Amino acid sequence: MYLKGQDNQFCHNELFASFPVLGNAIIIIPDLEIDLLKNTLDNLDRDNVTDLVAATSVLPHNKGILIRVVASKAQKIKNYWHSVINALRKLNHQPLLPRIPK
């Protein structure tokens, strides 16, 4: 989702003025310990990611994780999702996704 233009009710909000791009994902992986998944996602290497804020929440009954991300640009969120997918693949003992240049 991208907040822009005159219809953006949050254009003067301190958070959304700096981070107009929003993304959400729900992760449900059977037979994966939810605390391990949450800790892995919360500890992703964010040193190389600026202008991005991510938060995780455990879904009801510990059935999965909700991730919410806000960023200054869509590419920042795309890179973050790539990191999330690689973290999930690592937890499932699968090979990491290759970087495919645009």
* 27 in a structural domain: yes
Q: Please count the structural domains in the chain.
A: 1
Q: Is the pLDDT of residue 13 over 60?
A: no
* 4 in a structural domain: no
Confidence band for 15, pLDDT divided at 50, 70 and 90 = low
> pLDDT for 80-101, tens place per residue?
999 999 999 999 999 998 877 7
pLDDT (0 to 100) of residue 6: 56
- Cβ–Cβ under 8 Å, residues 4 and 11: no
* 3 in a structural domain: no
What's the CATH number where 19 sits?
Answer: 3.30.70.100
* 98 in a structural domain: no
* 87 in a structural domain: yes
pLDDT (0 to 100) of residue 11: 61
Annotate 22-90 with DSSP letters as a single string: EEEEEE--TTS-HHHHHHHHHT---TT--SEEEEEEEPGGG--EEEEEEESSHHHHHHHHHHHHHHHHH
Domain containing residue 58:
14-91
Q: In the predicted model, what is the mean pLDDT of residues 2-19?
A: 60
Question: pTM of the predicted model, to two decimals?
Answer: 0.77
> pLDDT for 22-73, tens place per residue?
899 999 988 889 999 999 998 886 655 678 889 999 999 888 999 999 888 8
DSSP helix/strand/coil, 21? strand
